[in-house]
Amino acid sequence: MRQIALTESEFNAYIAYRIEIEKEEIMKELRLKLLEENRIEGRIHIDLRSQKIPQFLRPEMDLYFAADLEASYGKARLNVKELFLDHQPIQPLFLDLVIRVVAQFDKAAPSSLSDWYELPYGIKNIKTQKGKVIFYY
């Protein structure tokens, strides 16, 4: 397999670009810190103001997480180790609940943090090192 490496800065710039061009309605920002052995940390800014949501959900949230990235055979998923909502620790099941509620209001299929997701066409595997990500294709 061939490989290409991106720095953490380049990868975060690509993510920001994709969020903008795809006009993402809910996830307004995703910033990742790439660590050794497929460990990542990140911040997600969620904006639900344009969604019809139950009142118990806050319209804007910042989620911080630490996770292991699992990738193989063209698919990837996150194994979340720690999750914080505005610096308060929460269970990953809470985020699954938010995803499920928003999916119901959007009449979309619910998903979970622990689901496997298809990688972009041609990418077979991903590895992280401190400050960089390596894509195998």
Domain residue extents for the chain? 3-136
For the chain, the average pLDDT equals: 90
pLDDT score, position 105: 66
The Cα 14–Cα 38 span in angstroms is 19
Residues 6+ apart with CB under 8 A from 82: 65, 66, 89
Q: What are phi and psi of 135, to 5 degrees?
A: -105, 135
pLDDT score, position 58: 83
Q: Locate 19 and state its tokens.
A: 């969020």
Question: In 35-72, at which residue ranges do the beta strands (DSSP E only) sit?
Answer: 39-47, 60-72
pTM (two decimals): 0.83
pLDDT above 90 for 112: no
